[in-house]
A and B are shown apart, each in its own frame.
Chain A
Amino acid sequence: MRNTFYFIKESIRIFRNNKLSNIFSFLGTALILFLLALVIAVWSISSRLTVMLREEAEISAYFDRDAGNTEELLNLIGQIDGVREVRLVDKEEARSRMEKILGEESGILDLFDENPFEAYFEVKIHLDRMDSVFTQISALKGINYVRENREALEQIEGISKALEVLGYLVIAAVSITTLVIISHMIRQGIYQNHEQIRTLMLLGAPDGFINFPYILLGFMLTFGGGVAATILINTLIHQGYGMLGSTIPFIPLPPKSQLMYGLSIFLLSVSAALGILGSLFGVSTSKKRN
């Protein structure tokens, strides 16, 4: 492009004219975008958790101890609409599952002379069919008692929803703040250079030529902030995964590289877009005489 060097030099000059404010708006943008990335990271982890937990929606159906027709019941349950999978968990498996959950405390089970657990049907279902499946299984002959885990699932889902709403709010807040900061810096730069701009107008320079260095500066400040935020969040994720992985291993984290890649793309494109929008806004709201 023609005048590339000129435009870059002009941008640097405008930056230098107001160095401190420009540096602070760069740092501010970087930190704001970093906070945004943080919220998005937590949100994406929790929504992934929700998706996985949805698949864990299940009903435990206990049956008459002396009912000999478990095979038949198994078939009947399997045919119910909304059931994904059904299998019989026998007494031994029920006990060994509890041992796993209790971990070191499992010695407590040795206090029982006899295995205190009962066999049951483990029915994996689609969460949104929970109600109908639940009533249909309850109505089956030979089924004593039915239990579901919906409440826990819905709580976690609620948290994830709340995080999503929070995410949108933070995106809105970050966008507005960044736009205000950048457009203000641009207006300030234009105001400080109004004599030069006036001369260029008198020489017939088109608005695009006059404004470009300011737009370039606004873009560089915001995009630079985006790059800094990307480096910060990637470092944090890199370190955080190591720590989380060893302390709470059962949280199903999304693959590290996928999260880092997604967040980087997101931050870079959001900061680029905000930079251009903010500068254009600043330029278009500056007062100029022809």
Chain B
Amino acid sequence: MIQAKNVSLTYADGTVALRDVSLNIRPGEFVYIVGPSGSGKTSLLKLLMGIEFPSAGSLYVMDQPIVKREAGRIRKLRRSIGPVFQEFRLIQGRTALENVLMGMRFLNIPNRQMVNSAKEALTKVGLGHKASVMVEKLSFGEAQRVAIARAVARKPALILADEPTGNLDYDNAINIMDLLYTLKDKNTTVLVTTHATHLIGNYHDTSLIHVEQGKISVEHRGEQK
């Protein structure tokens, strides 16, 4: 699913966000990414979405090389990814339902199936009753859950969620983590960055990526609980 070999990311201003990252993530893996603020978690997800490109090393996502001149193919690759952005990136002036639909309209899903899938996803994040509310009227936590519904509803092969529980209370956070974890059964690969380390112990057969000043270490946590 994801192969990284000695990947580094240096931003234009010279900031080194990631150094010498090597990774191998299999389909259906559930991966936590943890580390202090500014350590490079978001930067890693940006690389995987082709928003940034490795300054050194090689990176493949779903067998697609992440290189700048492959812009067209990267755009296509993104259709198989369900992104949850740290800043949500909802589209203003639309309802919650329309926001979820806008992640699917170009995916060749039959209309009825698309609407059903969107409503189902909103219900799963606990927002079935807010489907027709404009997103700018939602609370932070509600907006975040719409962003999660948008990522989940399109049934992607890979979910890249950047602190999806950052604005949620304990119960909602558990609900979202449960939702993401169930996707594992459908062989969906999930990468979740989080500061909520207390939730991590709840789930078995996961991987943990520690990011510290751009360096990573990977830990597999098998059957525990």
Q: Least Cβ distance of A19 to chain B in Å?
A: 15
Q: Please indicate the chain A residues that have their CB under 8 angstroms from the CB of B49 in the complex.
A: 202
* A5 CB to nearest chain B CB (Å): 10
* From B74, B81, B105, B150, residue with most partner A Cβ within 10 Å: B105
Which residues on A sit within 8 Å (CB–CB) of B89?
198-199, 202
Q: Chain B's nearest CB lies how many Å from the CB of A200?
A: 7
A112 at the interface (CB under 8 A from B): no
Judge whether B71 is part of the interface by a CB distance below 8 angstroms.
yes
The stretch among A164-172, A203-211, A235-243 that forms the contact with chain B is A203-211
A200 to B150, CA, bound (A): 12
- The answer to whether A6 has its CB under 8 Å from any CB of chain B is yes
Q: Is A13 in the interface zone, CB < 8 Å from B? A: yes
Contact with A along B59-84 (1 / 0, CB 8 A): 00000000000010011111111010
- With A2-B111, A3-B105, A290-B71 as known contacts, state yes or no: A203 contacts B93, CB within 8 Å: no
Closest to A290 in B: B71
- Measured between C-beta atoms, what is the minimum distance from B202 to chain A in Å? 30
Q: Are B106 and A206 in contact (CB under 8 A)?
A: yes
Measured between beta carbons, the chain B residues less than 8 angstroms from A2 are 105, 111
- A interface, how many residues as a size bin? 10 to 19
Q: Are B93 and A13 in contact (CB under 8 A)?
A: yes
- Contacts A3-B105, A209-B105, A209-B106; is A204 near B76 (CB within 8 Å)? yes
Q: Can you name the residue of chain B whose Cβ is closest to the Cβ of A205?
A: B106
Closest Cβ of chain A to B91, distance in Å, is 5
Does A88 touch B at the CB level, under 8 Å? no
CA distance A3 to B107 in the complex (A): 11
* Nearest-CB residue, chain B, relative to A207: B75
For B75-111 the 0/1 string (1 means CB < 8 A from A) is 1111111010100011111000000001101100001
Proximity string of chain A (1-26) to chain B, C-beta cutoff 8 Å, 1 when within and 0 when not: 01100100000010000000000000
Q: How far is the CA of A229 from the CA of B74 in the complex (A)?
A: 45
Contact A204 B105, beta carbon cutoff 8 Å: no
Q: How many whole Å from A158's CB to the nearest CB in chain B?
A: 56
The CA-CA distance from A13 to B51 in the complex, in Å, is 28
Chain B 188-209 residues near chain A, CB threshold 8 A = none
Residue numbers in A under 8 Å from B93 (CB-CB) = 13
- Contact status A199-B91, CB under 8 Å: yes
List the B residue with the shortest CB-CB distance to A200: B102
What's the tally of chain B residues with a CB closer than 8 Å to chain A?
25
Q: Which residue of A lies closest to B156 (CB)?
A: A204
Instruction: Please provide the chain A residues from 191 to 220 with a CB less than 8 Å away from any CB of chain B in the complex.
Output: 196, 198-206, 209
Main secondary structure of the interface of A (DSSP, over half): helix
Q: Which residue of chain A lies nearest to B49 when distances are taken between CB atoms in the complex?
A: A202
Bound-complex Cα distance A2 to B71 (A)? 26
Docked pose: A3 CA to B75 CA in angstroms? 20
Task: Report chain A residues within 8 Å CB of B50.
Answer: 290
The one of B81, B90, B92 in contact with A204, judged by C-beta atoms closer than 8 angstroms, is: B81
A202 CA to B81 CA in the complex, in Å? 10
**Do B71 and A204 touch (CB < 8 A)?**
no
- B78 contacts across to A, CB distance below 8 A: 201-204
Q: Give the chain A neighbours of B90 by CB distance below 8 A.
A: 199
Would you call B77 and A204 a contact (CB within 8 A)?
Answer: yes
- A204 close to B91 (CB less than 8 A): no
Q: Chain A nearest CB: distance from B8 CB in Å?
A: 21
Q: Using A199-B90, A203-B103 as known contacts, list a sample of 9 further A-B pairs with CB atoms less than 8 Å apart, ordered by residue number in A.
A: A3-B105, A196-B91, A200-B91, A202-B49, A202-B51, A203-B150, A205-B75, A205-B106, A290-B71
B residues adjacent to A (C-beta < 8 A) = 49-51, 71, 74-81, 83, 85, 89-93, 102-103, 105-106, 111, 150
Q: List 7 A-B contacts (CB under 8 A).
A: A202-B78, A202-B85, A203-B78, A203-B150, A204-B76, A204-B78, A290-B74
**The 4 residue pairs across chains A and B that have the minimum distance between CB atoms:** A204-B78, A204-B79, A290-B71, A209-B106
